[in-house]
Amino acid sequence: MAERFLVVKITEEGMDLRERALEIPQKIGGCISLTQEEALQLYTILRKLLGQFEEE
């Protein structure tokens, strides 16, 4: 049986989008008045919640 290979290469436009996307967490953080501890608690709760959806 012959194996198939798929080569995926990101375009220049894709790299530009990646760079812009990396800025999103900082921009969101600048709009929300949470302490670092509160943000960590929120992140932990959200990850737990999303994990429950993956199990179903």
Question: Does the pLDDT value for residue 34 go beyond 70?
Answer: yes
What pLDDT does residue 56 have? Answer: 62
Cα separation, 44 vs 51, whole angstroms: 11
Q: What is the mean pLDDT of residues 21-50?
A: 90
Contact partners, residue 4, CB within 8 Å, separation at least 6: none
Question: Does the pLDDT value for residue 42 go beyond 70?
Answer: yes
Question: Does the pLDDT value for residue 55 go beyond 70?
Answer: no
Question: Does the pLDDT value for residue 29 go beyond 70?
Answer: yes
Q: Where on the phi/psi map is residue 5: left (φ > 0), alpha (ψ -120 to 50), or beta?
A: beta
